[in-house]
Amino acid sequence: MADLAGAYAEARRRLQGLLAGLDPAALATPVPACPAWTVLDALAHLAGVAADVVNGAYFYGAADAWGDARLAAARDQWTASQVRSRHNRTAQAQLTEWAAAAAVLEPMLAGANPPPPGAPAWLLSAPVADLAVHLHDVRGALHLPGDRDAPASALGLRIYASWLGQRLQQSGRPALRLRTPEHEWLAGSGPPAAELTADAFELFRALSGRRSLDQVRALAWNGDPEPYLDLLAPYPMPPAPLIE
């Protein structure tokens, strides 16, 4: 089993160390990958996800929101409430809250403690993938690229590749072979109708909705990309290119 707890804890420490040293102006930096948020808002979301998970306040329809506009709007309201409810809290207060929630969440991710009764199937993988995505969102906003070697980044790619496979199957689309220099995955079932090759970081950012349609089309495709473009990411693609 993948070390979900270790990857989450390690990425959390990396991001907390980065955020703890920022001044108010840096914390107010807009995050291009999340246009409505600042760096401090991204922290509020991460603290909110951890707190919601351990308190059983998660949004059950999150994994299905890609195909349902009503669920997508409700998911966006859920994440917006995490940010809104922490609007007047300092970064240090939010870091403290996140660490306290993580002390409960990480043993769940490790399998040492059970998740709350009735928890959705995605509970143990989604926090790791979400943290990996926002780790790079924040670094991109601050023009401080790094942490591509973080275990959470590799796990995030695997989780998003698996999620893509689920979307392709549910939509009746042909499978897609995903390749990096180190690994390959078959997303979906049956013979693949196309292949997509990229380095691990670019593939992760594309599958997590952090690349524009033009950027995705410009990747190395073997076969027709068109049947996959609307499902490649579970969130809307940005209208303009993102670099990090």
Report domain extents, the chain: 4-123, 151-229
Q: Over the chain, what is the mean pLDDT?
A: 95
Read off the pTM: 0.95
More confident residue, 120 or 134: 134
Q: pLDDT above 70 covers what percent of the chain? A: 100
Range 210-214 contact pairs with CB under 8 angstroms and sequence separation of 24 or more: 210/33, 210/133, 210/136, 210/137, 210/238, 210/242, 211/237, 211/238, 211/241, 211/242, 212/237, 212/238, 212/239, 212/240, 212/241, 212/242, 213/237, 214/241
Residue 164 has pLDDT above 90, yes or no: yes
Q: Which helix (H) or strand (E) holds 226?
A: helix 226-229
pLDDT for residue 1: 47
Q: pLDDT above 90 covers what percent of the chain? A: 89
pLDDT for residue 101: 97
pLDDT for residue 59: 86
pLDDT for residue 228: 98
Mean pLDDT of 190-213: 98
Rounded to the nearest angstrom, the gap between the alpha carbon of residue 21 and the centroid of all alpha carbons in its chain is 23
Mean pLDDT of 108-127: 89
CATH match of 151-229 with 2.60.40: no
**DSSP state letter for 43:** H
Q: Confidence class of residue 28 from pLDDT cuts 50, 70 and 90?
A: very high
pLDDT for residue 125: 93
Residue 2 has pLDDT above 80, yes or no: no
| Residues 6+ away with beta carbon under 8 Å from 218 | none
